């Protein structure tokens, strides 16, 4: 199904991602320099919701795109099974990569541990990470970018480009390889199913397991 927004609008959305990254970096640095006490969960939630602004403007307001155009539509249960089938090998690769990093005393996203273990009430952060982020990021990267890039590129090429941009979002170069792999999985699920719901659900599962693992390790 061809989406109503143009390739130019898609690249403008990608440019907005660059602006988003710059603002995120600047905001974190500013908060640290001013020692402002702001909820990490609120900050993450606001940054995630900001990703919907270019989608609303470039797809919705400009071209009248509907939720269905962004992949919010029904899907067959077998595609969720496909997602789970891809999830386990991806997690195995992730575990191998994390084990490799540990040999050098490195961690993929240590800031998550600091937030979850250092925040008295991390409920909002957990909600943002497990519920809000999967939905917003799948709408932006798969529903908007991946679908828009397919008007110019083949779907494997669009999958590679959108997954590369997805890896950039997480502001941690050392974590880019497994995040890029997950981006490929999510884009492939959307390509096969025609819906971003399987990707949202698997994405939420990945984030929920990451949060659970960190909290379990902290409590041990």
Give pLDDT tens digits for 33-50.
666 566 778 888 888 999
The answer to whether 107 and 178 have CB atoms below 8 angstroms apart is no
What percent of the chain is modeled with pLDDT above 70?
94
Mean pLDDT of 42-71: 93
- Which is more confidently placed, 26 or 55? 55
Q: Whole-model pTM?
A: 0.93
From residue 194, alpha-carbon distances to 4, 120, 142 in Å are 16, 41, 11
Q: How far apart are CA 146 and CA 97, in angstroms?
A: 26
Q: What is the pLDDT of residue 177?
A: 92
Q: What is the pLDDT of residue 36?
A: 57
Q: Long-range contacts: 5-8, Cβ < 8 Å, 24+? A: 5/58, 5/59, 5/62, 5/63, 5/65, 5/144, 5/148, 6/63, 6/148, 6/151, 7/148, 7/149, 7/151, 7/152
Average of per-residue pLDDT values in the chain: 90
CB atoms under 10 Å from CB of 49, counted, come to 12
Give pLDDT tens digits for 4-32.
999 999 999 999 988 888 887 777 676 66
What is the dihedral angle through the alpha carbons of 166, 168, 169, 172, rounded to the nearest 10 degrees?
Answer: 130
The answer to whether 156 and 40 have CB atoms below 8 angstroms apart is no
Instruction: Characterize 196-217 residue by residue with b for buried, 16 or more Cβ atoms within 10 angstroms of its Cβ, and e for exposed.
Output: bbbbbbbbbbbbeebbeebeee
The answer to whether 140 and 20 have CB atoms below 8 angstroms apart is no
| Token pair in block for residue 176 | 């880019």
pLDDT category of residue 204 using cuts at 50, 70 and 90: very high
Q: Among 27-31, 39-43, 73-77, 161-165, which is the least confidently predicted range?
A: 27-31
What percent of the chain is modeled with pLDDT above 90?
64
The answer to whether 53 and 141 have CB atoms below 8 angstroms apart is no
Give pLDDT tens digits for 89-144.
999 999 899 899 989 888 887 777 777 877 777 889 899 999 999 999 999 999 99
Q: What is the pLDDT of residue 80?
A: 95
Q: What is the pLDDT of residue 220?
A: 62
Question: Residue 207 contacts by C-beta under 8 Å, 6 or more apart in sequence?
Answer: 129, 130, 133, 134
């Amino acid at each position: 199904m061809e989406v109503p927004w143009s390739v130019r609008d898609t690249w403008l959305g990608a440019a907005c991602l660059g602006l988003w990254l710059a603002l995120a970096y600047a905001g974190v640095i500013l908060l640290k320099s001013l020692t402002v006490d702001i909820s990490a969960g609120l900050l993450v939630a606001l940054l995630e919701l900001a990703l919907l602004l270019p989608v609303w403007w470039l797809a919705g307001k400009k071209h009248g795109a509907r939720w269905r155009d962004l992949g919010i539509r029904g899907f067959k249960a077998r595609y969720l099974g496909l997602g789970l089938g891809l999830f386990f090998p991806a997690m195995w690769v992730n575990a191998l990569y994390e084990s490799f990093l540990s040999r050098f005393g490195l961690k993929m996203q240590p800031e998550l541990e600091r937030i979850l273990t250092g925040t008295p009430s991390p409920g909002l952060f957990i909600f943002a990470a497990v519920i809000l982020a999967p939905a917003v990021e799948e709408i932006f990267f798969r529903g908007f970018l991946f679908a828009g890039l397919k008007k110019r590129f083949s779907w494997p090429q669009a999958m590679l480009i959108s997954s590369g941009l997805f890896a950039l979002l997480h502001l941690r170069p050392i974590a880019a390889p497994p995040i890029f792999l997950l981006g490929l999985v999510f884009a492939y699920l959307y390509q096969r199913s025609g819906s971003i719901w399987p990707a949202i659900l698997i994405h939420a599962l990945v984030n929920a397991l990451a949060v659970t693992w960190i909290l379990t390790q902290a409590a041990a």
